[in-house]
Amino acid sequence: MTIFFISDLHLHASRPEATQAFYKFLTEQAASAEALYILGDFFDAWIGDDDDAPLAAEVAAKLKALSESGTKVFLMHGNRDFLLGQKFVRSAGAALLEDPTVIDLYGTRTLLMHGDSLCTQDTEYMAMRQQLRSEAWQAQVLAQPI
């Protein structure tokens, strides 16, 4: 069995060829896999699960179909789509992973991360990241209409 790890697809309505390539990957490769791990920045941006843009619903439906066909789907936040929430995750038939997460990959402990938390010398980014990832900031932003 195969397990796929992908990240940084940066899906966006302005790049339909990337979205189509992803759909092709789902049907031609991921469909026969044991699991698909999407390790962040799956979307180029995410400002709340209440965004009713067609791309999000379409992608969720494709992932849900994959999940229902027997491939486990895991999602991790990236530095651009860290507001992806449970509503989207559920609609995609996926499970949300903490960053970092350690999995047992065929007997080998394997660390999964998006990677931006390792940019420790970029102190401005680290300070911003701390704010963006705080519950208070996220609650305040997500309470705003799209």
Which residues are near Mn ion by CB under 5 A? 41, 78-79
Residue 7 Cβ vs Mn ion, minimum distance, rounded to whole Å: 7
What are 121's two structure tokens? 């010398």
Residue nearest to Mn ion (CB): 41
8, exposed or middle or buried, with CB in 10 Å at 0-12, 13-18, 19+?
A: middle
Q: Which amino acid would we find at residue 70?
A: G
State which residue, 64 or 115, has the beta carbon closest to Mn ion: 115
State which residue, 30 or 77, has the beta carbon closest to Mn ion: 77
Residue 76 Cβ vs Mn ion, minimum distance, rounded to whole Å: 11
Alpha-carbon distance of 95 to 46, in angstroms, equals: 17
Residue 100 Cβ vs Mn ion, minimum distance, rounded to whole Å: 14
State which residue, 82 or 88, has the beta carbon closest to Mn ion: 82
